[in-house]
């Protein structure tokens, strides 16, 4: 067996490298129709003819100078790791520009194969290539491919392997740069061959000569760092530059660039023909509208709104199903343990795991939809246009349009967004963008809003409320960017240069892969970090157990129950049933336990009639409450009165049809059942509060409570906030735990209801505000550290945002309380 | 003349790029360098310009475009 073969994919951004890479390795890397999707080196492996082959997907680059991070990453990889063969993937429909990189790869002297990708597009545009001639002119094998359909990929792989195994001689034709340049390059090569110092022993001397002549910063410093005597060499290079300057007005690096394009157009004029010359294709026509200064912006805003609208209107019913599913699961598991079980395993399973992890998983549909929407923007090519439109605005805050792409991705997740800032060439632009990205409210914060908003705001305000939160994030990001740009990061931003790719129809498969990819990551997070933290938090919330309560709650509950049963006996008498007839009590207990859904029959007709009436009254009342809630009706408005009238007339109808039972049933509901339930849940709540207070989390939360108090937080919210540091979704999970531990019917009554009972809308808003701005999650912290290569910036971001969050939320809470808004 | 002052959709030839080294190299890698043909597709009151270069569409910031000198492309071009 020979050694492992390494094949690297290089090429211009957006030429289809990742698509080919995925096709060949069977991987699911992210592709997208804008330049700069892949910013990192990705690896894939596959056995071919029994031999392991390693594939490397490099970030796209326009050249191999030391201009931007990606260019350096790609160049250094090729120079240092010496892949056995490099496949340069070119978009054949814009061949001449794409060959600029190919020429530089030829200069590097790496074994090379050219993949003329997007042949389908090139053919439609009327290009004809004389492949054998072109291949001969450059001395490099060329294979035509269409990555999206897989055409030509087998041949590409075979050719690459043959080159790697040296079955095909690799001998590129020497490139001709023109008489004067060639003379000077030769001179430097001669000088190089007679000197000991050369940091690039494995590379052609001609490459070093060209780079020195270009004055490439990396190469020059590598030469200096050898520690050898480079004085003479540098003098020789300087001499060459001066001789060239006497003949041409452009500097040497420009001359070399011009010469490269000269070589390309020479080859192209011989081997490429174009049958139809099309002006104004589809993309041009679409751009007339989409990047128009007047209509472009409104269209952009509508599209953004659509993204979020879709995420919720389609996501919410799906979420409802999952919620029902988990409630059922919780109920079932509860059932295994029997009535009012105190088993810690029950509590761990139901409160800790199902309550915690389940509370997070229910948001999966929303998150996947958000990612699908972002993927559509990416794959169609609209993302680059959005950057174009936003450039005008971004300029005002000292950034440019390209910063906008990572910011938009930040609505999905900060981690890929921060990595995506690599498309920014300028270090200051990059740092500012990284620092403000967490203010783009990410998908993981969505569960928090989705929990809070419906709990505190009537339905007609829910959409605008969500919108407000996102907009607050954006405004803060803008202000912060401006602030950073005029203080710590003063200075010019790099000029805006960005290719606008042609519009493409996204493939369903591509979108699904993308969504599933994200969904899987989310599930994985839920199954690992969030699961672990949920268990930890559950434990800290449930233990240690309180042994002696401040009051004898058990006997209080017992007294209540006895009173209730006595009053039920009175009902028996009123109905004319015998004293000691227990069936009504049993049926009602069962009905209440089953969430008021089903009724068992007693074996008395009288009793059944009575029970039916009770339930009918209850249903009408619940129907009324629901209608008010769903339509967001406000008391005493005409709409409210109309609805109220409808339901009241139903009650009257019922009273008329069952005059014997109605008064007794109404009396039972209002004067017997309601007070009993209210009083007993009050006592249960006291028990649960005392337990929580005594637990580790309770103590810890109360210890920190003074810090959070000014924002209106109680210690329960404090514990949830601490949990959210690990991952924002944990906030929801922990609230679920805090409000369910110690209760028997945990999974059934909704968390929202409990929040409503405990907090004011003002606090609800403060929770969202603080979650939006405060400390990004640990994953973000880590990726910021790795992208900025400094813990300093990562911690600056972490604490800076947290302090900002505290100040703003405190301000809102205090002002709100003072003026009595939402309290 | 300056690239920003030309009418749209007429063929042009770049005569000089008077930008800094990095910006020059960046433009060159997109195919914008002396002797090459291009066309302005969009030039609004403010914001970046959209150019057609070598069959691709490239958006370039206005400031940078002001450093690019061009002459009409159908005239006898200097070589
Ligand atoms: N019509 C057509 N589209 C293609 C072909 N190959 C790739 N694409 C599309 O081109 C776009 C870019 O593909 P990617 O694979 O992400 O390109 P990349 O070279 O990895 O891009 P960067 O990571 O930005 O450097 C995607 O929308 C692909 O679906 C092809 O042969 N024909
Ligand atoms: Mg890629």
pLDDT reported for residue A548: 79
The DSSP-derived string for A149-197 is TTBTHHHHHHHHHHHHTTSS---PPPP---HHHHHHHHHHHHHHHT-S-
Q: Nearest CA to CA, how far is B57 from chain A (Å)?
A: 5
Domain termination site, one of A274, A306, A332: A274
Residues A652 and A779 grouped into a single domain: no
Q: Is the pLDDT at B78 greater than 50, yes or no? A: no
d(CA A662, CA A656): 8
CA of B1 vs chain A CAs: smallest distance (Å) = 18
Is residue A478 domain-resident? yes
Q: Using the mean position of ligand 2's atoms as its centre, give its distance from the Cα of residue A196 in Å.
A: 39
B36-56 mean pLDDT: 91
Q: What is the pLDDT of residues A706-761, one digit of tens each?
A: 999 999 998 888 888 887 876 777 788 778 777 765 454 433 346 777 788 888 99
Distance CA A305, CA A325 (A): 30
Residue with tokens 């022993």: A201
Residue A504 lies in a domain: no
> Nearest CB to B57: which of A62, A95, A499?
A499
Range name among A43-52, A588-597, A767-776 with the lowest pLDDT average: A588-597
Q: Report yes or no: A787 and A374 within 8 Å, Cβ to Cβ.
A: no
pLDDT score, position A38? 63
Residue A571 in this model has a pLDDT that exceeds 70? yes
- Based on the domain organization, do A332 and A319 belong to the same domain? yes
Domain count for chain A, please give it: 5
Q: Which residues of A fall within a CB distance of 8 Å from B39?
A: none
**pLDDT of res. A341:** 62
Greatest Cα pair distance, chain B, in angstroms, is 33
Asked whether the whole model's pTM tops 0.80, one would answer: no
Q: Are residues A695 and A674 in the same domain?
A: no
What's the Rg (C-alpha) of chain A? Answer: 35
Given A97, A425, A501, which is nearest B53 (Cβ)?
A97
Taking contacts as CB-CB distances below 8 angstroms, the residues of chain B near A494 are 22-23
- A547 domain-assigned: no
Please indicate, yes or no, whether residues A389 and A486 belong to a single structural domain of this protein: yes
Taking 50 as the threshold, does the pLDDT of residue B77 lie above it?
no
Contact list, B63 vs chain A (CB under 8 Å)? 495
The beta-carbon neighbor of B58 closest among A100, A101, A498 is A498
In 3-state terms, what secondary structure has residue A739?
coil
One domain, residues A144 and A259: no
User: Is the per-residue pLDDT at A32 higher than 80?
Assistant: no
Nearest Cβ partner for B55 among A93, A100, A258:
A93
In a domain, A531, yes or no: no
Has residue B75 got a pLDDT over 50? no
| Ligand 1 atom at shortest distance from the alpha carbon of A11 | 19
Q: 3-state DSSP: chain A helix, strand, coil percent, rounded to 5?
A: 65, 5, 25
For A267, phi and psi rounded to 5 degrees?
Answer: -65, -40
Q: Which ligand is nearest to the CA of A19?
A: 1
User: What pLDDT digit, counting tens, does each position of A537-561 carry?
Assistant: 778 877 887 777 778 888 888 888 8
Q: Is residue A282 part of a domain?
A: no
- How far apart are the CA of B71 and the nearest CA of chain A, in angstroms? 17
Reported confidence tier of residue A366, pLDDT bands at 50, 70, 90: confident
Same domain, A731 and A791: yes
Domain end residue (candidates: A656, A684, A712):
A684
* CATH number where A124 lies: 3.40.50.300
Are A604 and A700 part of one and the same domain?
no
Mean predicted confidence (pLDDT) in A265-282? 82
How many other CB atoms are found less than 10 A from the CB of residue A500?
25
Mutate to test the interface with A, among B25, B33, B45 (most CBs of A within 10 A): B25
- Rounded Cα–Cα distance for residues A140 and A115 (Å): 11
Nearest partner of A599 among A612, A609, A610, judged by Cα: A612
Would you state the structure tokens that stand for residue A112, as one six-digit string? 């090379």
The encoded tokens of residue A101 equal 């990189």
Domain membership flag for residue A159: yes
Indicate the SS3 state at residue A8.
Answer: strand
**Contact yes or no for A261 and B63 at CB 8 A:** no
User: Could you tell me which of A295, A287, A305 has the C-alpha nearest to residue A503?
Assistant: A287
CATH number for position A210: 1.10.287.1770
CA distances from A360 to A353, A444, A625, A669, B54 (A): 10, 9, 28, 37, 50
For residue range A158-191, what is the model confidence (pLDDT) as tens digits? 999 999 887 666 677 888 999 999 999 999 999 9
Pocket of ligand 1 (CB under 6 A): A 11, 13-19, 31-33, 35-38, 59-60, 117-118, 120-121, 146-148, 379, 504
Is the bond leading into A544 cis (omega within 30 degrees of zero)? yes
Which chain B residues are within 8 Å of A391, Cβ to Cβ?
Answer: 47-48, 59, 61
User: A361 with A476, same domain?
Assistant: yes
Q: Are A233 and A191 in contact (CB under 8 A)?
A: yes
Best-predicted range by mean pLDDT among A605-619, A663-677, A693-707, A794-808?
A: A794-808
Per-residue pLDDT at A280: 64
Give percent of chain A with pLDDT exceeding 70.
Answer: 94
CA–CA separation, A229 and A251 (whole Å): 26
Interface probe, candidates A11, A13, A497, chain B, greatest B C-beta count within 10 A = A497
A10 pLDDT above the threshold of 90: yes
Q: Do B33 and A258 touch (CB under 8 A)?
A: yes
C-alpha A382 chain-centroid distance: 18
Whole-number pLDDT of residue A744: 40
Sheet with A5-11: strands ordered across: A42-48, A51-57, A5-11, A85-91, A112-117, A142-144
Using the beta-carbon criterion (under 8 Å), do B47 and A388 form an inter-chain contact?
yes
Cross-chain Cβ contact A293/B26 below 8 Å: no
**Ranges of each domain in chain B:** 3-74
On whether both A225 and A344 belong to a single domain, the answer is: no
Mean pLDDT over A649-674 rounds to 87
DSSP string, A401-460: GGGHHHHHHTTT-HHHHHHHGGG--SHHHHHHHHHHGGGS--GGGHHHHHHHHHHHS-HH
Question: SS3 for A70?
Answer: helix
Counting ligands in written order, the one closest to the CA of A89 is: 1
Per the CB < 8 Å rule, is A400 touching B56?
Answer: no
* Nearest-angstrom CA–CA distance, A356 and A532: 10
Q: Which domain holds residue A405?
A: 296-499
Contact B56 A384 (CB under 8 A): no
Q: Who wins on pLDDT, A304 or A5? A: A5
Tell me, yes or no, whether A115 and A263 share the same domain.
no
In this structure, are A787 and A755 located in the same domain? yes
Given CA atoms A547, A548, A550, A556 in this order, what sign does their dihedral have?
A: positive
In a domain, A758, yes or no: yes
Alpha-carbon distance of B65 to B3, in angstroms, equals 6
- Cα separation, A628 vs A620, in Å, equals 12
Residue to mutate, A147, A150, A153, A500, ligand 1, most ligand atoms under 8 Å from C-beta: A147
Which structure tokens are listed for A327? 């409630």
Superfamily of structural domain B3-74:
Ferrous iron transport protein A (FeoA) (2.30.30.90)
Q: Is residue A285 part of a domain?
A: no
CB A41 within 8 A of CB A22: no
- Whether residue A259 sits in one domain with residue A213: yes
pLDDT of residue A213: 93
Those residues whose C-beta lies under 8 Å from the C-beta of residue B65, and which sit 6 or more positions away, are B2, B3, B4, B48, B49
Q: Please give the mean pLDDT across all residues of chain A.
A: 84
Residue A636: pLDDT over 80 = no
Nearest of A182, A306, A311 to residue A240 by alpha carbon:
A182
């Amino acid at each position: 067996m020979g050694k492992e073969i390494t094949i690297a994919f290089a090429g211009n951004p957006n030429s289809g490298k990742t698509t080919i890479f995925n096709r060949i390795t069977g991987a699911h890397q992210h592709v997208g129709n804008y330049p700069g999707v892949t910013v990192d080196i990705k690896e894939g492996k596959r056995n071919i003819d029994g031999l392991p082959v390693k594939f490397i997907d490099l970030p796209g680059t326009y050249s191999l100078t030391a201009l931007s991070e990606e260019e350096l990453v790609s160049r250094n990889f090729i120079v240092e790791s010496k892949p056995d063969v490099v496949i340069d993937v070119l978009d054949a429909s814009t061949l001449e520009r794409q060959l600029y990189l190919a020429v530089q790869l030829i200069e590097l002297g790496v074994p090379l194969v050219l993949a003329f990708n997007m042949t389908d597009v090139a053919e439609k545009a009327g290009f004809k290539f004389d492949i054998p001639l072109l291949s001969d002119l450059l001395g490099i094998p060329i294979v035509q491919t269409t990555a999206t359909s897989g055409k030509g990929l087998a041949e590409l792989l075979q050719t690459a392997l043959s080159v790697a195994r040296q079955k095909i001689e690799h001998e590129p034709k020497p490139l001709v740069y023109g008489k004067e340049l060639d003379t000077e390059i030769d001179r430097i090569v001669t000088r190089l061959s007679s000197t000991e110092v050369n940091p690039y022993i494995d590379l052609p001397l001609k490459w070093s000569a060209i780079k020195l002549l270009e004055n490439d910063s990396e190469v020059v410093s590598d030469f200096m760092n050898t520690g050898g005597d480079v004085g003479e060499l540098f003098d020789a290079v300087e001499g060459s530059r001066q001789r060239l300057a006497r003949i041409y007005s452009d500097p040497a690096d420009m001359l070399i660039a011009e010469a490269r394009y000269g070589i390309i157009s020479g080859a192209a004029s011989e081997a490429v023909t174009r049958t139809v010359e099309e002006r104004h294709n589809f993309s041009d026509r679409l751009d007339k509208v989409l990047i128009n200064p007047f209509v472009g912006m409104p269209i952009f805003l509508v599209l953004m709104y659509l993204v979020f609208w879709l995420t919720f209107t389609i996501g919410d019913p799906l979420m409802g199903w999952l919620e029902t599913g988990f409630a059922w699961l919780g109920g079932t598991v509860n059932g295994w343990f029997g009535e009012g079980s105190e088993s810690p395993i029950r509590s761990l399973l139901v409160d800790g795991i199902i309550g915690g992890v389940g509370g997070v998983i229910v948001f999966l549909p929303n998150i996947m939809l958000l990612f699908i929407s972002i993927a559509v923007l990416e794959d169609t090519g609209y993302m680059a246009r959005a950057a174009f439109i936003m450039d005008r605005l971004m300029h005002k805050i000292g950034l440019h349009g390209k910063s906008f792409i990572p910011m938009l991705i930040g609505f999905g997740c900060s981690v890929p967004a921060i990595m995506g800032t690599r498309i920014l060439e300028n270090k200051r632009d990059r740092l500012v963008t990284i620092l403000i990205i967490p203010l783009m409210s990410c998908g993981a914060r969505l569960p928090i809003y989705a929990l809070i908003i419906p709990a505190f705001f009537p339905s007609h305000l829910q959409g605008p409320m969500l919108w407000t939160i996102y907009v607050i994030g954006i405004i803060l990001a803008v202000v912060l960017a401006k602030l950073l740009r005029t203080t710590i990061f003063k200075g010019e931003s790099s000029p805006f240069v960005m290719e606008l790719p042609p519009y493409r129809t996204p493939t369903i498969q591509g979108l699904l892969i993308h969504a599933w990819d994200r969904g899987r990551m989310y599930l994985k997070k839920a199954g690992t970090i969030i699961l672990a933290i949920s268990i930890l938090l559950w434990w800290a919330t449930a233990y240690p157990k309180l042994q002696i309560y401040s009051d004898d709650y058990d006997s209080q509950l017992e007294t209540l129950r006895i009173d209730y049963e006595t009053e039920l006996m009175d009902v028996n008498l009123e109905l004319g049933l015998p004293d000691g007839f227990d069936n009504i009590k049993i049926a009602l207990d069962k009905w209440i336990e089953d969430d008021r859904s089903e009724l068992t029959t007693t074996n008395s007709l009288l009793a059944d009639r009575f029970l039916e009436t009770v339930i009918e009254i209850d249903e009408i009342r619940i129907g009324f409450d629901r209608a008010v809630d769903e339509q967001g009706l406000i008391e005493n408005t005409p709409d409210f009165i109309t609805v109220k009238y409808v339901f009241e007339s139903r009650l009257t109808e019922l009273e008329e049809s069952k005059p014997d039972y109605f008064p007794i049933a109404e009396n039972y509901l209002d004067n017997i059942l309601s007070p009993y339930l209210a009083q007993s849940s009050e006592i249960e709540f006291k028990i649960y509060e005392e337990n929580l207070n005594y637990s580790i989390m309770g103590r810890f939360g109360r210890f920190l409570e003074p810090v959070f108090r000014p924002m209106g937080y109680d210690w329960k919210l404090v514990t949830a906030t601490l949990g959210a540091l690990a991952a924002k979704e944990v906030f929801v999970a922990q609230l679920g735990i805090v409000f369910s531990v110690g209760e028997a019917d945990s999974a059934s009554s909704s968390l929202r209801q409990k929040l409503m009972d405990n907090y004011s809308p003002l606090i609800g808003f403060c929770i969202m505000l603080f979650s939006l701005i405060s400390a990004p999650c640990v994953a973000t912290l880590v990726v910021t550290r790795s992208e900025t290569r400094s813990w300093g910036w990562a911690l600056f971001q972490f604490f800076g945002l947290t302090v900002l969050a505290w100040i703003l939320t405190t301000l809102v809470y205090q002002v709100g309380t003072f003026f009595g808004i939402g309290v | 003349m300056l690239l920003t002052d030309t009418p749209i959709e007429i063929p042009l030839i770049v005569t000089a790029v008077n930008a800094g080294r990095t910006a020059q190299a960046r433009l060159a890698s997109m195919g914008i360098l002396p002797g090459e043909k291009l066309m302005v597709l969009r030039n609004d009151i403010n914001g970046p310009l959209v150019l057609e270069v070598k069959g691709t569409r490239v958006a370039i910031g206005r400031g940078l475009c002001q450093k690019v000198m061009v002459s009409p492309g159908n005239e006898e071009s200097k070589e």
